[in-house]
Structure 1
């Protein structure tokens, strides 16, 4: 076991897959000589050359389209968005090409493509650099969507994403790159379609992902001290949602709290509520509650920015309220 930062875990996954498979390449702004905006590709250009770690102009639509074409013709490109917000400029390519071509070609083309990079609400990065795009991409048929949350799952998930023959949008949170964790030195892979039970419990199911996993963990000591026993599930796979794992938990706890950084309107939480109500309505002792970011552009002001994102104290209060209200309903 070795203790490494999350950006190093992502770099190691990329390095190992590039060494193993000559078709794997990296494309994006400043991924080469600069080493990536968060050092995920640091020094890889000196090992693999400037054509396998290709610095591009500031033209997201163009180089994403180029990567899709490269995937169709046999390469396995990794597109880094310097900030995932910039990939809105490539939305047409991701939607109309990456998501559709395997289907519209009748299966004649595969698209082994990873689109990865930093996203989420950082620290005073401004509205344009603090967007949460997971709900934007969730509506696109043909994509897989993954949100890593720890160095361990970041490495195992990225290696699996690179080997997958479908386009994978891989979300990394800008504030988790310096998170440290011990991970195995031997190779391992993690499934792209499975949630992780972070903590088993019997009182309530807390569904979360990305940075909010850590806010939930911060809330746990207080909840445990006060006698509550929550089960915590990191979704990891945002598309498809692992409804099987969610179902097992809900049938045990009968109560659900969703904690996300996504916007409340049409966010990941909204889709979760729809599926839980569709498949598990009779298992619920209380309505599903979601804690989501406010539906406003993220403020630059630090205090206002913090107020838009869910905090551990809100998670604690919500767990208590749901359990108390469910007892009142059932009695």
Structure 2
């Protein structure tokens, strides 16, 4: 279907949180296409661990909203079989730290069906994964390992940062012929509300979103880190530092054109993510910029990230995650280099 991006102010809309927008997106796609199925632990009668599937089993029945055993490998393996046979399954894995038992299924099977079958089969699978820290949960419930999946050819990886993007990106993921890992930053599940159109629309996979125009430094981020980054940008503006903020939102494929153009217009770059620094997506963005725009560079590109440790328990959680203050400090260092 053609991509559409309606103006929320121009159509009927609702004011929704991000998790409500996910639920609305699931409802819209299930209503539109009988081949869209949901499966996972507690997604039916209990409405999902974060209530993202609230009421869907009552609307569509247990044949399309299926509770499963606590077995992530089986959930994804079953979903792959469904996808190859023509369904469009949307499995939910409750937390990112629970993905790893299904990692083999995703990278060795889902990601390879198109090439393994020489195009005879596709795998239209959307794996929903609440991810990231900040909710005072144990380490396996708070991880941010998007780089694992972005490294595997055949998988697409997207992260919404607003309710509008959540519904639109989910529609794009479900209609995509290939597997998509759909990461939902649970820190902002219920942090704020925005207008979301009632009608179906899509937000394209592979397109970043410029949130703030600026001329001094380009700042790239995604997910829950968008809000503290924008907060830091507003504070810096009071001191005359003009930040150009880009929500990457599509981790793979990257929107290299928007990323490189943003760097060229400023000559300085900062990447913010909550995942550990080593091997994180900030390194991939930095390398892309170096290859495509090194002659525009005025300062080293800075990474403001989580630390190279397992995700900490409650007392250090706020210290681990990039805060607006830490982001502001890093941007200042880059501009003043």
| Structure-1-length-normalised TM-score | 0.96
Hey, what does 2:162 align to over in structure 1? 150
Q: How does 1:41-56 map to 2 (within 5 A)?
A: 41-56=53-68
Hey, what does 1:203 align to over in structure 2? 216
Hey, what does 1:283 align to over in structure 2? 296
* Deviation >4 Å, runs of 4+: none
Give the counterpart of 1:23 among 31, 35, 40.
Answer: 35
- Does the aligned pair in 2 maintain the 1:85–1:131 contact within 8 Å? yes
Give the counterpart of 1:224 among 203, 226, 237.
Answer: 237
Alpha-carbon shift at residue 2 of structure 1 (Å): 2.1
Matching of residue 174 in structure 1 with residue 193 in structure 2: no
Hey, what does 2:7 align to over in structure 1? none
SS at match of 1:290: strand
- Does the aligned pair in 2 maintain the 1:204–1:231 contact within 8 Å? yes
Give the counterpart of 2:266 among 253, 257, 260.
Answer: 253
Hey, what does 1:329 align to over in structure 2? none
- Does the aligned pair in 2 maintain the 1:32–1:45 contact within 8 Å? yes
SS at match of 2:194: strand
Alpha-carbon shift at residue 186 of structure 1 (Å): 2.7
Q: Distance between the aligned counterparts of 1:98 and 1:283, measured in 2? A: 40
- Does the aligned pair in 1 maintain the 2:94–2:130 contact within 8 Å? yes
Matching of residue 94 in structure 1 with residue 94 in structure 2: no
Hey, what does 2:312 align to over in structure 1? 299
Alpha-carbon shift at residue 100 of structure 1 (Å): 0.7
SS at match of 2:123: coil
Deviations 1:136-193 (A, max 9, x none): 1111110000011110100100011111101000000111110311122332211011
- In structure 2, the gaps of 5 or more residues are 1-12
Q: How does 1:19-168 map to 2 (within 5 A)?
A: 19-168=31-180
- In structure 1, the gaps of 5 or more residues are 326-331
SS at match of 1:310: coil
- Does the aligned pair in 2 maintain the 1:84–1:116 contact within 8 Å? no
Matching of residue 273 in structure 1 with residue 286 in structure 2: yes
Q: Distance between the aligned counterparts of 1:129 and 1:71, measured in 2? A: 27
SS at match of 2:223: coil
Alpha-carbon shift at residue 258 of structure 1 (Å): 0.5
CA RMSD of aligned residues (A): 1.0
Q: Distance between the aligned counterparts of 1:220 and 1:282, measured in 2? A: 25
Alpha-carbon shift at residue 252 of structure 1 (Å): 0.6
Q: How many residues align?
A: 324
Give the counterpart of 2:18 among 6, 24, 31.
Answer: 6
Deviations 1:240-296 (A, max 9, x none): 111100111111111001111111000011111111111221111111111010011
Hey, what does 1:328 align to over in structure 2? none
SS at match of 1:82: coil
SS at match of 1:175: helix
Give the counterpart of 1:264 among 277, 288, 302.
Answer: 277
Alpha-carbon shift at residue 117 of structure 1 (Å): 2.1
SS at match of 2:299: coil
| Structure-2-length-normalised TM-score | 0.94
Alpha-carbon shift at residue 300 of structure 1 (Å): 1.2
